[in-house]
Amino acid sequence: MVPGDEAWAILNEADPVLAAAEVSAAVDRVAKEISAQLADAQPLVLSVMGGAVVFTGQLLPKLRFPLDFDYIHVSRYGAETQGGELAWKVLPRENVENRTVLVLDDILDEGHTLAAIRDKVLSLGARRFLSAVFGDKATGRQKPISADFVGVTLPNRYVFGFGMDVRGAWRNLPAVYALRGS
């Protein structure tokens, strides 16, 4: 956790990446794409806590089909700005066996977390795995997984806002920012 005055300094020195209106338009577009593909599937939607909470909260009301909902909690970052070892905190409580599962996450960075989630969900017996991410970071490197639905492409910088945090702060921003110098 970053103290309040330091959090404000981080935000005040950050570079804007996406305005709130651009974020909202991306969520609307992804909702339409998902609805078109999964209208008859009644999928189990799994939100990845805590980064995907804002994306999930804005996306779910726009999905125009019946679905079941649960969450998982897995992280490689904690309060750090560099990914570390994968830590599973909560597995799906809903049975995924023989289900179409749609996983919602905030960002596809290096892809290790989402690939591990895919492997876990399929090992639990899911019939089909799909993923939607708000942002796909343009790292310039090959990733072990690609998302089926992508809201925006983000620069290869440390970004925060709209569910993504910087040292625990600023998940609540409606826009996206990048750390200066990242």
CATH label of the domain that carries residue 37: 3.40.50.2020
Task: Give me the sheet containing 176-178, strands edge to edge.
Answer: 15-18, 176-178, 159-160
Handedness of CA 33, 176, 154, 110 (dihedral sign): negative
Return the H-helix or E-strand segment holding 24. Answer: helix 20-38
Domain containing 166 equals 4-176
- In the block, tokens 């005040």 appear at 12
Is residue 77 domain-resident? Answer: yes
Quick one: DSSP state of residue 25?
A: H
Is residue 181 domain-resident? Answer: no
pLDDT of residue 121: 96
pLDDT of residue 80: 52
CA dist., res. 85 & res. 79, Å (int): 13
pLDDT of residue 161: 98
| Alpha carbons within 13 A on the beta-carbon side of 82 | 1
- Phi/psi region, residue 125 (left: phi>0; alpha: psi -120 to 50; beta: rest), is left
Length of the chain counted residue by residue = 182
From the first residue on, what is the mean pLDDT of each consecutive set of 10 residues in the chain (182 residues)?
90 98 98 97 96 97 97 73 74 93 96 94 97 97 97 97 95 97 84
Q: What's the predicted TM-score (pTM) here?
A: 0.93
Residue among 105, 109, 136, 165 flagged as catalytic: 109
pLDDT of residue 162: 98
Is residue 121 domain-resident? Answer: yes
Is residue 182 domain-resident? Answer: no
109 among known catalytic residues: yes
Is residue 45 domain-resident? Answer: yes
pLDDT of residue 78: 52
Is residue 151 domain-resident? Answer: yes
Domain count, the chain: 1
CA separation (Å) from 46 to 96, 137, 169?
10, 21, 23
Task: Give me the sheet containing 149-154, strands edge to edge.
Answer: 87-90, 68-75, 44-49, 100-108, 128-137, 149-154
